[in-house]
Amino acid sequence: MKPPVIEVDRINLGQGGHRVLEDISLTINEHEFHAIIGPNGGGKTTLLKVILGLIRPDSGTVRVMGGTPHEMRAHLGYVPQFRTFDFQFPISVQDMVASGRLGHLRNAFQRFSREDMDAAAEAIETMQITHLKDRPIHDISGGERQRAIIARALAGKPSILLLDEPTVYVDSPTAVRFYDILSQLRETMTIILVTHDISALSPDVTNISCVNRHLFTHHDNQITEDMIAGAYPCPVDIIAHGVPHRVINDHDNRVFGGRK
Amino acid sequence: MIEALGFEFFRNALIAGFLASIACGVIGSFVVVKRMASLAGGISHAAFGGIGLGYFLGISPLAGAAAVALGTSAATAWIRMKAHQHLDTLVGAIWATGMAAGILFIYITPGFAPDLFSYLFGNILLVPRETLLMMAILTAGICSIVAILYPRLVAVTFDEEYASVMGLHPDRIMVILLLLTGLTVVMLIQIVGIILVIALLTLPAATARLFSRSMKELIVGASLLGIVFTTTGIWLSYAFDIPSGATIVIVSACVYFGALPLQHRVLGRRESV
């Protein structure tokens, strides 16, 4: 058994006098497709940023593939929330995706090599946006932009891909195609997906954690509705608006059932 | 009109406009896409405090301006790191404090401040030869640093957080960018004066941005537009005997506002998702 790719150990974090994350421990193994769900403001994005090393916790440790997030940054691919982007920025899809290779350059004087350009081209190909590569990002649709952002993360050839609310700004057909792409990517990398919308969860998800200041993990494949009710004190509203019974049954029949 | 080229001061003015336009095109492009126009305004107005200090200490007012502009740039970069949300207010405070300090220094300095007006409103027709040499060195320096850091500067101005995930140290890159902005501001004070610096720093880049598909296009376009604006402004200023700095800014603004309605036709950009 390989060691886990991500080990979060008893993290505490306060921001502006509020406890945002409290005593959170989380272990993610290689090739998991791990969904982190929870209500808005529950700390999902903050937890993701702690794993990425963007926010330092007040206490506790984060290990990524045995090292600190900073040491292992070349293994991390990040897809930030869509709304944080300035799409009026004058940059082509090609250049934006290639910028995902900057973490692989050793110093400020080194330029992109053939290998870097090939990796960018491959990521563009994977996300099926080759025909758009010379277009500026302000001149493509929302779904195309989302694919370009994921391509940038893939250009770095990450072992772990972390996505923050990737389907919020895309329409349903695009979201479906997007999950198809993710299930392909699962073959080669660990995927961590943050979302508040559990009705849109892919059937390929292998593990689910719920964050609402505290963390509730559902490692067990044989998850039952009783367990959900016990371990899920937080998102009563989410379960209500996310059509919970269908989701839970989906877990039993398709996701986890398929792996028995 | 051509006979004006026979005068050394006129040729110097055109060369100064050319050099300033290149520095503005390069730095202004980053200022515009990173939405730092007010920050650049704060730095240039704070530099007025340095000019007053220069008079007070009996040193070159421009040296005082350079010291204060660079100090303010570094301080702003530091504040930016520590307190993102208050930056806007702090820029306003720095802006006003610099102007107020400048006025007080000039008031308590005995005698008359001879070139005060040219620091406030600029006078490109009075740029001496040795200043041109300094401007050439500064412009070459600014361009080289940007050329070396180009991919990182673009990555950090586009998405600071992702740059951080990739280990690019966005804070350090932003310090460098702000220091370069401070240097450019000091250079521009000669041309258009403190009050109009933001215009020359942002209008050519803002106009070029309407038609640019990449940062490279934007930088080249902004530099070329800057050269056209300054040259036109200098000619008009000479021909009609009107203040050069203000003329350059009015020319730039006319082209910018005239170009605004054209952008949709050229790029067909999408406004939102």
Rg (CA), chain B: 19
A-chain residues within 8 Å CB-CB of B209? 90
In this structure, whether the domain defined by A26-86+158-259 belongs to CATH 3.30.70.260 is answered with no
Q: pLDDT (tens digit, 0 to 9) for every residue of chain A, 260 residues total?
A: 678 899 999 999 988 888 889 899 999 999 889 988 888 888 889 999 999 999 999 999 999 998 888 888 889 999 998 878 888 899 999 999 999 999 888 777 888 889 999 999 999 998 889 999 999 999 898 888 988 999 999 999 999 999 998 877 677 777 777 788 888 888 899 999 998 776 667 778 888 888 888 887 765 433 445 445 544 544 433 343 333 333 443 433 333 333 33
Q: Which of A99, A105, A110 to mutate to test the interface with B (most CBs of B within 10 A)?
A: A99
DSSP, collapsed to helix, strand or coil, labels residue A212 as: strand
Closest B-chain CA to A143: B273
- Tell me what pLDDT residue B259 has: 93
Name chain B contacts of A152, Cβ cutoff 8 Å. 162
Where along chain A do its domains lie? 26-86+158-259
Q: What is the ipTM of this complex?
A: 0.83
Containing structural domain, residue B82: 2-256
* Alpha helix (H) residue ranges in A53-113: 93-98
Instruction: Note whether B155 contacts A: Cβ–Cβ < 8 A.
Output: yes
Contacts of B154 in chain A (CB under 8 A): 91, 95, 99
Residue length, chain B?
273
Tokens of B82: 């520590």
Q: What is the pLDDT of residue A38?
A: 83
Nearest CA in chain B to A144: B273
pLDDT at position A225 is: 52
Give ∠ CA B167-B173-B176 in degrees, rounded to 5: 160
3-state SS record for chain B: CHHHHHCHHHHHHHHHHHHHHHHHHHHHHHHHHCCCHHHHHHHHHHHHHHHHHHHHHCCCHHHHHHHHHHHHHHHHHHHHHHCHHHHHHHHHHHHHHHHHHHHHHHHHCCCCCCCHHHHHHCCHHHCCHHHHHHHHHHHHHHHHHHHHHHHHHHHHHHCHHHHHHCCCCHHHHHHHHHHHHHHHHHHHHHHHCHHHHHHHHHHHHHHHHCCCCCHHHHHHHHHHHHHHHHHHHHHHHHHHCCCHHHHHHHHHHHHHHHHHHHHHHHHCCCCCC
Alpha-carbon span A43 to A54, nearest angstrom? 14
Non-local CB neighbours of B251 within 8 Å, separated by 6+ positions: B229, B232, B233, B236
Q: CATH number for the domain including B194?
A: 1.10.3470.10
Measured between alpha carbons, how far is B66 from B187 in angstroms, rounded to an integer? Answer: 9
| Interface touch B164/A91, C-beta < 8 Å | no
Q: Does B33 touch chain A (CB under 8 A)?
A: yes
Exposure on the CB side of residue B21, measured as CA atoms within 13 A: 27
Beta-carbon pairs below 8 A across chains A and B: 85
The one-letter code for the residue type at B73 is S
Answer for the pair B99, B51: CB distance below 8 angstroms, yes or no.
no
> Is residue B73 assigned to a domain?
yes
Supply the pLDDT for residue A244. Answer: 38
Per-residue pLDDT of chain B (273 residues; tens, 9 = 90+): 677 788 888 999 999 999 999 999 999 999 999 989 999 999 999 999 999 999 999 898 889 999 999 999 998 888 887 766 677 888 889 999 999 999 999 999 887 777 788 888 888 888 888 889 989 999 999 999 999 999 999 999 999 999 999 988 899 999 999 999 999 999 888 888 888 899 999 999 999 999 899 999 999 999 999 999 999 999 999 999 999 889 999 999 999 999 998 876 555 554 443
Please check whether residue B64 lies inside any domain of the structure. Answer: yes
Chain A: residue whose CA lies nearest to B162: A78
Q: H or E segment at A180? A: helix A172-185
B268 to chain A: closest CA residue: A139
Domain count, chain B: 1
pTM: 0.85
Using only C-alpha atoms, chain A has a radius of gyration, in whole angstroms, of: 18
Q: Tokens for B69?
A: 């502009």
**Is B264 contained in some domain?**
no
Contact A38, A208 (CB under 8 A): no
Cα A45 to Cα A163: distance, rounded to the nearest angstrom: 10
Assign 3-class secondary structure to A129-179.
Answer: CHHHCCCEHHHCCHHHHHHHHHHHHHHCCCCEEEEECCCCCCCHHHHHHHH
Q: Is residue B272 part of a domain?
A: no
Give A181's Cβ-side CA count (13 Å radius). Answer: 22
Give the A-side interface with B, CB within 8 Å.
52-54, 70, 73, 76, 78, 80, 82, 84-86, 88-92, 95-96, 99-100, 102-103, 108-109, 111-112, 136, 138-142, 145, 152, 156, 169
Q: What is the pLDDT of residue A214?
A: 84
Stretch (H or E) spanning A77: strand A76-79
